[in-house]
Amino acid sequence: MNRFEKYYPYEGEEFRHVMAMLADNDLACSLFPELSPAQVRQRFASYSDVGEFQADAMLRGCRYVVEHTMSRFTWSGAEYLDGTPSLFISNHRDIVLDAMLLQYLLISLGRPTSHVVVGTNLFEMPLMQQLARVNKMFGIDRGGNRMEYYHSLIEMSAYLRHLVTQRGESVWIAQRNGRTKDGTDCTDPALVHVIASSGNGQNPVSSLDAMHIVPLCISYEWEPCGWLKAREMCLRSQGPYAKAPGEDTHSIVSGIKDYKGHVHLTVCPPIRRDELETAKGDRHRVAALIDSRIAAGRQIYDNNRAAKAMLYNQPLPANPAADAFRRYVDDACTAYPLGQSFRTALLRIYASPLESIQNTQ
């Protein structure tokens, strides 16, 4: 048995069994409101594999989120989605949406969807355990001590290399463990290290080059779970912080349902071999190279400019967008009366992307 078969998407009888289970869930009926429950079951029974499920049911779910929670969804750099098996390394702003929007774009362009690396915290919702493998998701356990997490990274990295270099399939992974809570997008050098180390004796340059790294930058006009992130940052600054039961599930649901305004996905230019050679395969320099691509791909909104002005007590522009953002901050501070530290944390979430761009220029 292949050591990685346990991670592969469902196939055959196992796939048909999961389809039957999902068809009886309320979510399935909500995706096809024009169909009766019996017709939904028949629809799900007609899917022969994960690709058909994603191209129909998952695409419907993605389209609903785009049409009902965004003013528009745009993208750039689609020319880099040329079918080459790639490791997509993305900034991470939302538990589900960041990877989901890449799949939406890939299907829209007629490309195969990618596999997706997620934290096992995503599986708090029982339904997600079934949805994961029919959406090519692979969980990495972020629990335990630092050594246990490192071994999880090693196993994950070996699987990613297997997918890209042997099966010829692409993979999405976040640039670091967990979502950014302070608005700063930074690639964890440890991620670069374990990817390079999985190259079966190759030098770091050749090992990383074989993975065809393509950075991604997702930009949200209105930050998913912005208030919740600011609250967590505020409480963490005051002492040890332990997530409440169901907190991740609440963030997943909020991230999907909350209004996000204009969302833009930038597919950045792939990391070239000559760039890896210049960086000598060093994990810190390669991580910085990925960060520079992501910074260059950011979409800057009026909210970012207004946040920076408010953070440094500068005059706000006299326009409706700035007024709307000020009301948003005031409403947040009313909902979470945690003082100045909460307000500052919320403003930093929005101001950090603008400051990061300026720091790389």
User: What is the rounded CA–CA span in Å between residue 107 and residue 123?
Assistant: 24
What does the pLDDT read at residue 147? 76
The band of 144, judged by pLDDT with boundaries at 50, 70 and 90, is low
Reported as a pLDDT band with limits 50, 70 and 90, residue 357 is: low
Mean pLDDT value of segment 161-174: 96
Mean pLDDT of 72-78: 98
Mean pLDDT (whole number) for 265-292: 97
**Which helix (H) or strand (E) covers residue 19, if one does?**
helix 12-23
Higher confidence at residue 222 or residue 353?
222
pLDDT tens figures, 294-312: 999 999 999 999 999 999 9
CA 115/CA 110 separation, integer angstroms: 16
Question: What pLDDT was estimated at residue 246?
Answer: 79
- Is the predicted pLDDT of residue 336 greater than 70, yes or no? yes
Is residue 150 helix, strand or coil? helix
More confident position, 319 or 75 = 75
Q: Which domains does the chain have, with CATH numbers?
A: 70-222+259-299 (3.40.1130.10), 304-360 (no CATH)
Edge-to-edge strand list for the sheet holding 213-220: 70-76, 261-267, 213-220, 87-90, 171-174, 115-119, 137-140
CA-CA distance, 60 to 35, in Å (whole number)? 14
So what's the pLDDT on residue 299?
Answer: 95
Q: Return the pLDDT at 128.
A: 80
pLDDT of residue 151: 78
User: How high is the pLDDT of residue 327?
Assistant: 97
d(CA 265, CA 298): 8
Q: pTM of the prediction?
A: 0.94
Average per-residue pLDDT in the chain?
A: 91
Q: Say if CB 99 and CB 172 are below 8 A apart.
A: yes
State residue 7's pLDDT score.
82
Conformational region of residue 243, where left means phi above 0, alpha means psi within -120 to 50, and beta covers everything else: beta
Predicted local distance difference test score (pLDDT) of residue 250: 84
181: DSSP letter:
S
pLDDT at site 245: 77
What Cα–Cα distance (Å) separates residue 181 from each residue in 61, 120, 140, 229? 26, 19, 20, 5
Q: What is the pLDDT, as a whole number, of residue 187?
A: 95
Could you tell me the pLDDT band of residue 358, with boundaries at 50, 70 and 90? low
Mean pLDDT of 218-237: 93
